[in-house]
């Protein structure tokens, strides 16, 4: 009877803590994903190989905290681009919701619809009603190089940019080639 009770407790814990057995660690290969973009196209992580990927999960389109966070990334977008980084926002919202959110705030980066929650589960941010607000930086080689857990949306984009600048280095101007 004790063995059965112990097994039952372990089963309940494994269901209650979906990320318990698959905790992400820095330096490991980032979980692969295929998701639908705000334009309705399919995007795979491997499509972005060779670039830093800023993968930020947020709870819901067009809510106060999520709007603050998205606008932060929007304002710093040229600096992220200069560092060769792609920003991807992810929530459980539909493509249609993402399109409206992106248009309302003129967001220049891709939003991914994780309606089946596969990405959230793979990145250990799945919650019953929305994804936890967490950000992951994936190296050009596809490894997890930074994780920001339970972030404050205000100032978070700058925090991510600072990390990227300190750990990747700022781009150096290319030497001009003499013309023939």
Q: Which residue numbers are catalytic?
A: 66
Q: Which of 87, 77, 89 is nearest to 48 (CA)?
A: 87
- Alpha helix segments (H runs only) across 17-138: 64-82, 95-105, 118-122
What is the rounded CA–CA span in Å between residue 150 and residue 89?
A: 15
């Amino acid at each position: 009877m004790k063995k059965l009770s112990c097994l039952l407790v372990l089963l309940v814990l494994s269901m209650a803590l979906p990320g318990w057995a698959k905790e992400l660690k820095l330096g490991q290969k980032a979980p692969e994903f295929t998701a639908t973009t705000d334009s309705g196209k399919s995007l795979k992580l491997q499509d972005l190989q060779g670039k830093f990927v800023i993968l930020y999960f947020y709870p819901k389109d067009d809510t106060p905290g999520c709007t603050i966070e998205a606008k932060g990334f929007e304002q710093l977008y040229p600096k992220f681009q200069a560092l060769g980084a792609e920003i991807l926002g992810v929530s459980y919202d539909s493509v249609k919701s993402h399109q409206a959110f992106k248009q309302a705030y003129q967001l220049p980066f891709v939003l991914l619809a994780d309606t089946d929650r596969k990405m959230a589960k793979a990145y250990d941010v799945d919650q019953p009603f929305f994804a936890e607000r967490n950000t992951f930086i994936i190296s050009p080689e596809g490894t997890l190089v930074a994780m920001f857990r339970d972030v404050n949306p205000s100032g978070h984009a700058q925090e991510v940019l600072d990390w990227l600048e300190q750990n990747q280095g700022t781009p150096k101007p290319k030497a001009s080639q003499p013309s023939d």
